[in-house]
Amino acid sequence: MQTKLTLLFLILIFSETKAQKADDFSKKIDSVITSSDPVKFNGTVLITKAGKVKYAKTFGYKDFDAGIELKPDDQFEIMSNSKQITAVLILKQVEKGNINLQSPIKKYLPYLNQSWADSVTVHQLLNHTHGIADTEKPLLFKPGSQFKYGNLSYMLLGEMLEKISGKTYVELANELFRQVKMKNTFCYTEDHKRNLVPGYMNNENNFARVQQSFLNKDNIPAAGIVSTAYDLSLWDDALFNGKLLKSGTFKMMTSATTMSQHQVFGKENMGFGYNVRVIKESGMNYFAVTGLGDGFTCLNAHFPDNDVSLIILENQMPESREYWSYKEAVIKNIVLKSSLLGGQKDLTDPILK
């Protein structure tokens, strides 16, 4: 009997050790989201692998003044993640033959009266190399020569979609959401807020509610979509597993056609496609999109070789630029070094470790 009990004990210990080794990320992420140093986390983290949930935690408050806690089905502004949805809608029109990416935008937006409308292309609107600062002013630089991120080009792409399709942007987006079964994703309107949480500015871990300035009709294609972490995992599955675009147009979207730097991914310039970052870090190739503003912080990273998605949505944004997307970067690095991706190591940027 003693021998059997000892054997059973050893089996249990072995099984527990093996499980702990397989999950070498949960406790580390827990410690990040529960720590107030150097900035509090307030939001939700979801990790999926091949469609299965590997980590899901919601932490913090929907309403700081009333002490109402966040729930997993609460909805967040996804900020510039909205642009990725607009890029897919444009590429669907390309697949139908309604848009040529290399055509000047004047062809689709004839009301533009600046001379540059005959030289700036749809492709340059998509990858932020257009040089347009204002539709009534000269370009900042020669089209295609530099990268400058902003909302204006995706607002123009939204107009383009409406003129070509004869439908509103909201109608087109809703059709896409239904296709992907994103039941908790919508384009914001004043009378259509559902479970949208307020955003907060974080000043040394003191939180102040902000006005939702990005949520207006014109800005929806650039930064006006509301969603949940789970719905964005459905989006990743559809986009990166060939359910939304043909292989050729998907390759156009995810090919690096310009370069850009972002503190979440290090100090060096990395590739940028049609509102998707094309990243090589720690020996791993992956795609990512970020969002920041209105008191919200967002990260959606997808690691195609392992079919892993990391989605982080916060309804807080640090006032100090030093801490913008700080915990998103830390959590991303935990995933990069975890067994989810085969245990990548040797991150070189000390602020992101």
> Which whole number is the average pLDDT over 158-172?
97
Looking from the CA of 213 toward its CB, the CA atoms found within 13 Å total 8
pLDDT at 345: 42
Q: Under a CB-based contact definition with an 8 Å cutoff, are residues 316 and 42 in contact? A: yes
Which tops the pLDDT comparison, 40 or 2? 40
What's the CA gap between 59 and 229, in Å, rounded? 13
Q: Which two tokens stand for residue 88?
A: 């897919």
pLDDT tens for each residue of 113-149 = 999 999 999 999 999 999 999 999 999 999 999 999 9
Examine the pLDDT at 153 and tell me if it is beyond 60: yes
What's the CA gap between 337 and 300, in Å, rounded? 17
- Nearest to 222, CA basis, from 338, 311, 89, 329: 89
Q: Which two tokens stand for residue 339?
A: 């067994």
Torsion of CA 172, 221, 125, 210, to 10 degrees: -170
pLDDT at 176: 98
- The chain-wide mean pLDDT, for the chain, equals 91
The answer to which of 246-250, 255-259, 309-313, 348-352 has the lowest mean pLDDT is 348-352
Examine the pLDDT at 13 and tell me if it is beyond 70: no
Positive or negative: CA dihedral 165, 169, 173, 174: negative
pLDDT at 74: 96
What's the CA gap between 125 and 113, in Å, rounded? 17
pTM of the complete model beyond 0.85: yes
pLDDT tens for each residue of 261-286 = 999 999 999 999 999 999 999 899 99
pLDDT at 346: 38
pLDDT at 21: 53
E strand or H helix that includes residue 26 = helix 26-34
Strand partners, 285: 280
Confidence band, pLDDT 50/70/90 cuts, at residue 217? confident
What's the CA gap between 133 and 26, in Å, rounded? 43
Hey, what CATH class is 24-352 in? alpha beta
pLDDT tens for each residue of 281-326 = 989 999 999 999 999 999 999 999 999 999 999 999 999 999 999 9
E strand or H helix that includes residue 316 = strand 316-318
